[in-house]
Structure 1
Amino acid sequence: MALKTIHALDVPNLDQVPENAALFSTVRFSSTGVEEGGGTRKEQKRGKLVVMGHRGSGMNSLQSSDRRMKSVKENSILAFNRAARLNLDYIEFDVQICMADWRVAIAKTPQVAGFSFLSFSFVLNMLGLGRNAGLGLLVTKDDCPVIFHDIHILTKDKGAFAEKRVTEITLEEFLSYGPQRDPGKVGKPMFRKAKDGSIDEWRVEYDDPLCTLEDILQKVDKSVGFNIEMKFDDSKIYEETELKRIIQVTLKIVNKYAEGRPIMFSSFQPDAAQLIRKLQDAFPVFFLTNGGCEIYADPRRNSLDEAVKLCREGGLDGIVSQVRAIFRNPAMVPKIKESELSLLTYGPLNNVPEAVYMQHLMGIEGVIVDFVQEIKEAVSDFTRPSNEEAEEENSSHGEGKGEKRGRVAVKFSDNELSFILKLIPELIQP
């Protein structure tokens, strides 16, 4: 890989990565995934740097001038299968639970003094007392895990924006947004609110309908692994019973349709991450953290040290950190490794090949990226055996020199690597 020179002034702040900057520990990652899916967790040999597609083939940024950020609809079957065709190791996506659909089956609805037992028995069934009351009414609840990043979903109705929480609408309503599978149906137009509060119509070059977890487990190429991020509202306090319900609904679908696919779970919600581990031991669980790049009310979310502590206490398999937190505090990498935890990263800087290469040198095991094709190609380039290594391998097999081509090795001395790691935090101070 030909690495270009980057001057300090070219990267003043990792919060502002130029759009044109880029033309595990207890669980070991390899080209075949972290595990065989649905079985007992296994330690595998450490392999190449794992590349994961962010929300499939990359997130959508509607305000970006880079067409790649508005190419394929994020978190869609189309995006996931495109990523699979690039031979990505994993795709990362977000799972939320749509509000339950209540299906009422009425055997009989007697009337007494003008009062319908339907309403009364419905309440009893909601409380779990209907069957004991002997009334002819059955109520079933169907929670459904759906694939969507934002907490709210937006449309426009009669000229005004209408915003709803994804977790407070039914599956039928959720699927009514955007393009429809049925060519005879017209979906509600979708909009997206940016961090600055501005709203843009969600237009991409290649659109695709919204989907459920069951959909993608059945319709996405089995060769690609899934990093399932359990999404929760940062502004909400969750009781353990609610977290447990959400996680169990998701696990039920995964266990039914995984069929050997490599799968891992991750979450920014500390209690949820630990609960996923308590409820199952078949799939690796990672804690997502900003590592102090943003501050939250829950101190467990505010540093890499806290992330390590949470993982060790909860028996988690690793950390997925904002890459800026790692570059600001590179000394945490060996500390995380000493704790027998895997380390992955996410963030805009992972779209820059040089930054990914530095992480490879530091021993980070995987990166979540938006520019999937570019980074996949770059990683394939700099993780190929060098000419020197290739010649050694050839000679061990009795082959002549030059019969197997490799990359030109890029090597740093210990002093050079130490200098670079000390320089990086200076470049990225806010």
Structure 2
Amino acid sequence: MALPGPAATRAAVRLCRIAASASSYLPSAAADGRRELELPFALVAERGMVVGGHRGMGMNAVGAPPGARFGAARERENTLLSFGRAAAHAAVAFVEFDVQVTKDGCPIIFHDDFILTQGTGAVHERRVTDLLLEDFLSYGPQRESCKVSKPLLRRAGDGRVLNWTTEDDDSLCTLQEAFQRVSPRLGFNIELKFDDSIMYHRKDLQCALKAVLQVQSFPLLRIELSCF
């Protein structure tokens, strides 16, 4: 393996100095007693680094004990609300989010391979990509008061199925809505989500990618696609 050159070494040293400076920022007590990590946005901007919002304002820590995760998002992850609040921070240059394609070919924003709800006392679990768009959008809060929502549940790291509640909730959304309603100054890091347990045919991957690329966006919108 080749050793890093002088430029790479200088960059690594610079990052170490930034990390050391950032580590001096200790968690502070929020009004409700939670501990939150104060992000040194001014320091980051000064050093020429780029700040990205993971799933918007961060991921939801379902089932985690209070204080187990510093800065766990109070907004529902991967929603327009979460993206909008990330955009309100001038230092945030892009948001990262997860895209899957519904059975009827619509790219939607959701992280987990399966979506869970509860009805008649039983937990119902569906693969996201097996749902039609209308079915997917019926989970969680509804924008129209006349529509009945399905409660969202989520499987915690220890296997428990829990109510997926957030302090500030919002509806699930599509990729098209994100392009249309999130500040165009933000870049988008779009992670294409596929189930690791499935061996996909090339045509299935091509269809999913084609559906994403066909979504209309602003001409100058900065977009990066990733998949792993």
2:52 matches 1:52? yes
| 1:233 and 2:195 matched | yes
- Tell me the SS of whatever aligns to 2:221: coil
Q: Letter of the aligned partner of 1:86 in structure 2?
A: H
Matched, 1:69 2:72: yes
Q: Which residue of 1 aligns with 2:168?
A: 206
Do 1:62 and 1:70's aligned partners in 2 also have CA atoms closer than 8 Å?
Answer: no
Q: Tell me if structure 2 keeps the 8 A contact 1:62–1:69.
A: no
Q: Which amino acid aligns with 2:171?
A: P
Pick the aligned partner of 2:103 from 95, 99, 103: 99
Aligned partners of 1:97 and 1:145 also within 8 Å: yes
1:185 paired with 2:142, answer no
Paired position in structure 2 for 1:262: 222
Aligned in 2, Cα 1:184/1:68: closer, same or farther, shift over 3 Å? farther
1:258 shift after superposition: 3.2
Q: Structure 2: state its 5+ residue gaps.
A: 1-20, 27-33, 39-44
SS in 1 for 2:177: helix
For residue 153 of structure 2, what is the amino acid of its counterpart?
A: F
**Aligned partner of 2:197: which letter?**
S
The answer to whether the 8 Å contact 1:95/1:147 transfers is yes
Q: Is the 8 A contact 2:58 2:73 kept in 1?
A: no
Give how far 1:4 is off. 3.5
1:133-148, aligned counterparts within 5 Å?
143-148=105-110
Q: CA, structure 1 residues 195+5, in 2 after alignment: closer, same or farther (shift >3 Å)?
A: closer
Match of residue 185, structure 2, among 217, 220, 223: 223
Secondary structure at the counterpart of residue 232 of structure 1: coil
1:80 counterpart (79, 83, 86): 83
Tell me: CA distance 1:3–1:155, structure 2 relative to 1, closer, same or farther (3 Å).
Answer: closer
Contact 2:57 2:73 in 1 (8 A): no
Alpha-carbon separation, structure 2, partners of 1:5 and 1:228: 30
Other structure's SS at 1:94 match: strand
Q: Which runs of 5+ in 1 are unaligned?
A: 7-18, 24-30, 32-46, 101-142, 269-430
Aligned positions of 1:149-188 closer than 5 A: 149-188=111-150
> Any idea what the Cα deviations from partners look like across 1:381-407, whole Å, max 9, x if unmatched?
xxxxxxxxxxxxxxxxxxxxxxxxxxx
How far did residue 63 of structure 1 move?
2.0
Deviation digits for residues 22-63 of structure 1, max 9, x if unmatched? 44xxxxxxx9xxxxxxxxxxxxxxx81111111001000122
Structure 1 runs of 4+ aligned residues shifted over 3 Å read 1-6, 19-23
Q: Identity of aligned pairs, percent?
A: 43
TM-score normalised by structure 2 residue count: 0.78
Please give the TM-score of this superposition, normalised by the length of structure 1: 0.42
- Aligned CA distance change for structure 1 residues 48 and 76 (closer, same or farther; 3 Å): same
Q: Which stretch of the first structure deviates more once superposed, 195-204 or 208-217? A: 195-204
Q: Distance in 2 between matches of 1:222 and 1:244?
A: 27
Q: Decide whether aligned partners of structure 1 residues 182 and 217 sit closer, same or farther in structure 2, where only a CA change above 3 A counts.
A: same
Question: How far apart in 1 are the matches of 2:97 and 2:154?
Answer: 17
Question: Residues 6-405 of structure 1: matches in 2 within 5 Å?
Answer: 22-23=37-38, 48-64=48-64, 65-66=66-67, 68-87=71-90, 88-100=92-104, 143-253=105-215, 256-268=216-228
Offset of residue 5 of structure 1: 10
Residue 157 of structure 1: how far off its partner (Å): 1.0
Residue 89 of structure 1: SS of its match in structure 2? strand
Number of matched pairs: 190
| Shift in alpha-carbon separation, 1:150–1:184, aligned structure 2, 3 A | same
Partner of 2:15: none
Q: Distance in 2 between matches of 1:171 and 1:206?
A: 24
Distance 1:164 1:199, change over 3 A: same
Secondary structure of the corresponding residue to residue 257 of structure 1: coil
- CA distance, structure 2, for counterparts of residue 242 and residue 176 of structure 1: 25
In the alignment, is the contact (CA less than 8 A) between 2:99 and 2:111 conserved in 1?
yes
